[in-house]
Amino acid sequence: MLYNVVDIQKILPHRYPFLLVDRITALTPGESVEAYKNVSISEPVFQGHFPDHPIYPGVMILEGMAQAGGVLAFKSMDGVTQEEIENKVVYFMSIDKAKFRSPVTPGDKLVYRLTVIKNKGAIWQLDAKAYVDDKVVAQAELKAMIVDK
């Protein structure tokens, strides 16, 4: 374990029910991050998606990957203080080549693996994949920018 949920909350502004990363398990600054989320039936999204056939929404998978990418971006910034991190946020700029390969259901451990395609200043372009049991369930190219709150 590299960062638990308490550590992640010191980096990202997201909170329940929209903090979608439980743990960061690997991080190489400027290169890659691996994280996961345990998908539970107690999540509010399953009240409406879908009551008798719970499927974790693809948009939530994309957001979870983006949040993992946000941790990577913040932890890749040299010489940044905790106070500076708390005054910044990561905004989506684009989502390209998004594909959903298999449904994600309660009980699944959703593993996010992202690698940096390109980084120029505050802008990050990431290759993102989500896995359940080492099988790709979703993928996309994400572009985001770190901005002041």
What gap in Å lies between CA 13 and CA 20, rounded to an integer? 11
pLDDT digits (tens, 9 = 90+) for 18-61: 999 999 999 999 999 999 999 999 999 999 999 999 999 999 99
Q: One-letter amino acid identity for 81?
A: T
Cβ-proximal residues to 79 (8 Å cutoff; 6+ apart), any chain: none
pLDDT score of 46: 97
CATH topology of domain 5-148: Thiol Ester Dehydrase; Chain A (3.10.129)
pLDDT digits (tens, 9 = 90+) for 66-99: 999 999 999 999 888 888 888 999 999 999 999 9
Contact 29, 71 (CB under 8 A): no
pTM, two decimal places: 0.96
What average pLDDT does the structure give for the chain?
96
Partners of 99 in the beta sheet?
139
Among this protein's residues, is 53 annotated catalytic?
A: no
pLDDT digits (tens, 9 = 90+) for 124-148: 999 999 999 999 999 999 999 999 9
For 11, phi then psi, to 5°, come to -100, -45
What gap in Å lies between CA 71 and CA 22, rounded to an integer? 12
- Angstrom distances, CA of residue 61 to CA of 46, 86, 123: 14, 24, 21
pLDDT score of 109: 98
Contact 107, 54 (CB under 8 A): no
Q: Among the options 13, 22, 45, 49, which is catalytic?
A: 49
Residue spans of the domains in the chain: they are: 5-148
For 44, phi then psi, to 5°, come to -55, -30
